[in-house]
C-alpha cells in the first residue's frame, strides 16, 4: 500500500495518507479532510469548514469510528484470502499423494481385470500395453493438476503482499485508535 506524505493546512502537522483512503483526520488539530486526487496531486478540503471546534471533534470521532469499521472489514477479508492462499500452498503434497494413490489403484484394477476376465481372451501384449497406457494417462493427468513451482512461488508472493497490506492496515488502525482517544479526551462534556 503506497502512502503519500503532506501537511495539514490548519496546523502544519505531517499527514501520512494511504493510497486507498478518501478521507483523513489530522492527529494534531482533529480536522477531518476529504481527499481528492488528480494524478500525483492531492487536494485536501475540510469536511466541515464552518463548524465549531466541538462539533468538528465529534464529527471527527464519528469519522474515525467509521474508518475503523472499514479497516476491520478489510483486515477480515484479507485474512480470509491469506488463509485460502496458505491452504492452497500447503495442499500440494496431499494432492500429489492422492493422485499417485489413484494411479496405483487404477493399475491394480487393470491387472485384476486382466487376471480374472481378459487373460484367456487376449494375449499378454494387450495386458502390458493397457498397463503402460493407464500409467501414461495417469501421469499426464497428475502433471496437469499439480501446481508448478512457479505457480507456488506466485501464490507465496501474493500471500506475502497481502500480509504486508494487513500489517499496514493494522498500523493505520492503531493510529486511528490513538487519534480517536486524543479527540475524545479533548472533547468538553456536552450539556443536556
In a domain, 187, yes or no: no
Give the count of domains, the chain: 2
Of the listed ranges 49-58, 72-81, 160-169, the one predicted with least confidence: 49-58
pLDDT digits (tens, 9 = 90+) for 7-40: 888 888 888 888 778 888 887 777 788 888 877 7
The pLDDT of residue 123: 66
pLDDT value at 1 more than 80: no
In a domain, 111, yes or no: yes
Do residue 33 and residue 19 come from a single domain?
A: yes
Structural domain harbouring 126: 88-149
pLDDT digits (tens, 9 = 90+) for 36-68: 887 777 888 887 665 555 545 566 677 778 888
Do residue 144 and residue 158 come from a single domain?
A: no
In a domain, 189, yes or no: no
Residues with Cβ within 8 Å of residue 114, at least 6 apart in sequence = 122, 127, 130
Do residue 19 and residue 77 come from a single domain?
A: yes
Do residue 129 and residue 47 come from a single domain?
A: no
Rounded Cα gap, residues 53 and 58, in angstroms: 9
Q: Is there a contact between 23 and 30 (Cβ–Cβ < 8 Å)?
A: no
Give, in degrees to the nearest 5, the angle at Cα 7 between 186 and 25: 40
Amino acid at each position: 500500500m503506497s502512502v503519500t506524505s503532506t501537511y495539514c493546512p490548519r496546523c502544519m502537522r505531517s499527514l501520512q495518507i494511504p493510497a486507498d483512503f478518501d478521507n483523513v483526520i489530522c492527529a494534531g488539530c482533529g480536522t477531518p479532510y476529504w481527499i481528492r486526487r488528480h494524478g500525483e496531486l492531492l487536494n485536501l478540503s475540510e469536511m466541515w469548514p464552518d463548524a465549531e471546534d466541538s462539533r468538528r471533534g465529534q464529527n471527527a470521532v464519528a469519522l474515525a469510528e467509521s474508518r475503523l469499521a472499514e479497516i476491520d472489514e478489510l483486515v477480515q477479508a484479507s485474512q480470509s484470502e491469506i488463509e485460502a492462499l496458505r491452504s492452497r500452498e500447503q495442499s500440494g503434497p496431499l494432492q500429489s499423494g492422492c493422485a499417485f494413490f489413484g494411479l496405483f489403484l487404477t493399475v491394480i484394477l487393470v491387472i485384476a481385470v486382466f487376471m480374472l476376465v481378459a487373460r484367456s481372451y487376449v494375449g499378454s501384449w494387450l495386458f502390458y500395453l493397457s498397463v503402460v497406457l493407464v500409467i501414461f494417462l495417469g501421469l499426464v493427468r497428475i502433471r496437469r493438476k499439480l501446481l508448478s513451482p512457479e505457480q507456488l512461488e506466485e501464490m507465496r508472493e501474493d500471500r506475502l503482499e497481502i500480509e504486508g497490506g494487513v500489517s499496514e492496515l493494522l498500523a493505520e488502525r492503531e493510529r486511528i485508535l490513538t487519534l480517536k482517544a486524543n479527540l475524545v479526551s479533548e472533547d468538553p462534556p456536552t450539556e443536556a
